[in-house]
């Protein structure tokens, strides 16, 4: 883990409207896919196991997105995941989206750690907290 994680999302036919542009809700699906892969490949924690075996979920409590330019069918959107903040039971991620180095979007999401059985927020666990803080330091050093 030497620099912030980049999720590469090929823009597929299923993502687009009849004009060949990504239909905006599909970007939010890509953000979720990026988070899951970030957990698996960068943080070294299996996202599905966190939910299914450990009973810890990470729903989105808030999200926002500024679209700079459209993305089209056949392009590859690079989503760079920047961890901006780690709280007691939440984390704030920024997604910087680009195609071929050209900025296309900037989004921010707040995820909350919850107890899946009761659906209530819970403190971030020790192992996850350590990995998040290490990734936060990496993002701050890269800025």
Tens place of pLDDT for every residue, the chain, 143 residues? 679 999 999 999 999 999 999 999 999 999 999 999 999 999 999 999 999 999 999 999 999 999 999 999 999 999 999 999 999 999 999 999 999 999 999 999 999 999 999 999 999 999 999 999 999 999 999 97
C-beta separation of 125 from 88 below 8 A: no
Which pTM value belongs to this model?
0.95
- CA trace torsion 93, 89, 43, 10 (10° rounding): -40
Spatial separation of the C-alpha atoms in residues 72 and 18, rounded to whole Å: 11
Tokens matching residue 124: 């971030």
Spatial separation of the C-alpha atoms in residues 4 and 90, rounded to whole Å: 19
Burial class from Cβ neighbours inside 10 Å (0-12, 13-18, 19+) for residue 41 reads exposed
Q: Give me the pLDDT at residue 50, please.
A: 97
- Superfamily of structural domain 6-142: Hotdog Thioesterase (3.10.129.10)
């Amino acid at each position: 883990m030497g620099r912030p994680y980049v999720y590469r999302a090929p823009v597929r036919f299923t993502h687009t409207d009849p004009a060949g542009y990504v239909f905006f809700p599909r970007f939010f699906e890509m953000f979720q896919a990026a988070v899951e892969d970030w957990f698996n490949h960068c943080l070294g924690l299996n996202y599905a196991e966190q939910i299914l075996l450990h009973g810890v979920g990470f729903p989105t409590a808030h999200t926002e997105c500024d679209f700079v330019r459209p993305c089209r069918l056949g392009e590859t959107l690079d989503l760079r995941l920047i961890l901006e903040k780690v709280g007691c039971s939440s984390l704030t991620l920024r997604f910087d989206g680009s195609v071929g180095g050209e900025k296309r979007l900037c989004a921010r999401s707040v995820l909350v750690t919850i107890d899946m059985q009761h659906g209530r927020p819970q403190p971030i666990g020790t192992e996850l907290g350590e990995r998040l803080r290490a990734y936060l330091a990496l993002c701050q050093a890269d800025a």
